[in-house]
Amino acid sequence: MTDAPNVPVRSRLASSRAWNAVRVGFFIANRQVRANIGTSLLIIVVMVLTYLNLLVVSGVMVGIVQGLRSERLQYYSGDIILTNHREKDSIQNSPDALAYLRALPAIASFSPRYLAEGALEGNYAGKLLLQDEADTIPTNVAGINPVAEDATTGLSRLVIEGRYLQPSDYDQVLIGTSLLARYKTLTGIPGSTPIPNVGVGSKVRILVGGIEHEMTVKGIVASKIQELNLRVFMVDAQLRALLGRTDDGVNEIAIKLAPGADAAAVKGQLALSAINADAKIQLAQESEPVFFQDFATTFNKLGSFLGGIGLAVAFIVIFILVFVNIITRRRSIGILQAIGIRASGIQIGYIAQSVLYAIVGAAIGMLLLFTLIEPYFIAYPIDFPFSNGILTVSFIEAVVKALVLVVAIILASFIPARLILRQEIVDAVLGR
């Protein structure tokens, strides 16, 4: 009998020990998940909800902005919009510009518009006395080519009552909802009152270029875009006649690109042409008014803020789940240590379990998001007064947040396992 064999029995390399700890870790994780299917499913459900919470709330915030932007692009500005320089009455050499646009294959259609500031007057027939002022409201009058406008923006789809304009429609107008009390929603012009008792078929007076002209309301235009709700639309030739314009200068041209065309590239091309000197060339987003961009920034910030809260909530939920999961197994952890399982192996076991929950949860969440929730929001947008709220989540963002979930759960698993592993083994085994 040799009493002091200093060489450990069946000594193995330290690296293979570390590897064995990994093997044991996965063995433990496997057995614990299989033995607690109910609990595992519950944790996965919580993971799915946590993951969706991380994406959906901030996704809706971002979606509101996107909904607003796409509505403006669709119905107002097109992909690119040309406007007259501020110091000029109209886009110079408009016929040349239009001819140039017509020749570009990347452009699907465009709509030239004449614009004039004016006023809308209603309910004047009954007011006989001089001191009875008629109801008036300031407005922007747009003269459009109904066919080109509809091809470019689909304006006819915004007509909620009455009918869209035909090229031959003289003395007929479309009126935006913000100008009429009957249709007015939340928004309006500060300090002005929408005109009451005017609807489709009513006679109204348009004051433009110092002339008053009586016309009939043919249709009502309703949009999430305030710029459209404040307009009166008539056929371009009539507006030019009312204004006494002899030149061909239009005020803005909304351009719709052919599918697949790159807006920035087309803009660059236009900037190199003669149009650059005659008009301001802007992409849809560049043409947004300042308040619009402030609104977008605010909602995006709100989205990030709510996303941050979602993240904090996710971390806390995960921490509690994992903490409870590990603390209730304190004795098991003590036993494993006692019989010679390295702390790293035990920790790997719990981390592997948690990571499995996080990955399965995120995968299910992603599936629900892209096959169910996002299509649902697109089919049934939330009807905000200023936007059609859709859910906007990019695939990259979904993957990044899934990784966030996994990292959070690894951190959350690390701490309680550490706490237990630092205890005296006998205390954990005996539950002291």
Partner 1 sequence: MLEARDLKKQFLSGESVFVLFEHLDFAAKAGEMVVITGRSGSGKSTLLYQLGLLDTPNDGVVSVDGIPASSLAHNARTDLRLERFGYVFQDYGLMPEMTALDNVLVPLIMRGESYPRAEAAARAALVRVGLGDRLSSKPARLSGGQQQRVSIARAIAHEPPYILADEPTANLDSASARQVLDMFSEIHRGGATIIMVTHEKESLALADRVLELRDGALLAVGTETHPPAVPSSLREGGAYGL
Q: Which is nearer to partner 1, 10 or 86 (CB)?
A: 10
Q: Applying CB under 8 A, does 414 fall inside the site for partner 1?
A: no
The stretch near partner 1 (CB under 8 A) out of 2-10, 93-101, 222-230, 299-307 is: 2-10
Select the span of 49-57, 156-164, 388-396, 424-432 touching partner 1 (CB under 8 A): 424-432
Region of 13-21, 91-99, 351-359, 394-402 interacting with partner 1 (CB under 8 A): 13-21
Binding status of residue 423 toward partner 1 by CB under 8 A: no
The stretch near partner 1 (CB under 8 A) out of 17-25, 89-97, 154-162, 186-194 is 17-25
Stretch that binds partner 1, among 19-27, 65-73, 259-267, 271-279 (CB under 8 A): 19-27
Residue 38 CB contacts under 8 Å (≥ 6 apart), including other chains: none
CA 216 from centroid of its chain's CA atoms: 38
Among 15, 16, 131, 168, binds partner 1 (CB under 8 A): 16
Judged by CB under 8 A, does residue 9 bind partner 1?
yes
Note whether 418 binds partner 1 by CB under 8 A. no
Q: Which of 27, 295, 323, 414 binds partner 1 (CB under 8 A)?
A: 27
Number of residues that bind partner 1 (CB under 8 A): 38
> Closer to partner 1 at the Cβ: 307 or 345?
345
What's the closest the beta carbon of residue 36 comes to partner 1, in angstroms? 7
Task: Establish if 310 lies at the interface with partner 1 (CB under 8 A).
Answer: no
Q: How far apart are CA 251 and CA 241, in angstroms?
A: 15
Residue 37 within binding range of partner 1, rule CB under 8 A? no
- The answer to the question of residue 129 lying near partner 1 (CB under 8 A) is no
Minimal distance, residue 331 CB to partner 1, in Å:
8
426 binds partner 1 (CB under 8 A): yes
Select 39 or 269, whichever has its Cβ closest to partner 1.
39
Closest CB to partner 1 among residues 62, 336: 336
Q: Does 8 participate in binding partner 1 (rule CB under 8 A)? A: yes
Q: For residues 322-381, which are near partner 1 according to CB under 8 A? A: 332, 335-345
**Residue 87 main-chain phi, psi, to 5 deg:** -80, -5
| Residue ranges that bind partner 1, judged by CB under 8 A | 1, 3-6, 8-10, 12, 16-17, 19-21, 23-24, 27-28, 31-32, 35-36, 332, 335-345, 424-426, 429
